[in-house]
Amino acid sequence: MLTEEDLNISVRNINTSLDVLGGKWKIKILGFLLFYGKRGFNELLRDTTGISQKVLSSQLKELERDELVVKEISSTTPIRVSYSLSEKGMEVRPVLVALCNWAQKNYF
């Protein structure tokens, strides 16, 4: 049986996870990066149906800040910006796979 402290830690961890991963777009963005690999900004914009450029930019900045996504800027002309999962971002893989499996089992 869990102690009160264990319960408080579990709730804290869930709240932190939702703070980092929550919202309408972050899980979708992370999913595209996990399953398709490195993507350019415009590719992510096309992939993530319904998201605006402003919101995508904001979400990517938050994911970078939380060290889940790495932004790479090429030195070529024209400059190309691409995004990929960081090591910390790859640690979210089991969560994303579990979500995929849950949706498949319950909705498809």
Q: How does pLDDT run across 18-67, given as a tens digit for each residue?
A: 999 999 999 999 999 999 999 999 999 999 999 999 999 999 999 999 99
Half-sphere exposure for 1 (CA within 13 Å, toward CB)? 2
Pull the structure tokens for residue 34. 């996990």
Residue with tokens 């970078």: 64
pTM score of the predicted model: 0.91
Domains of the chain: 25-107 (1.10.10.10)
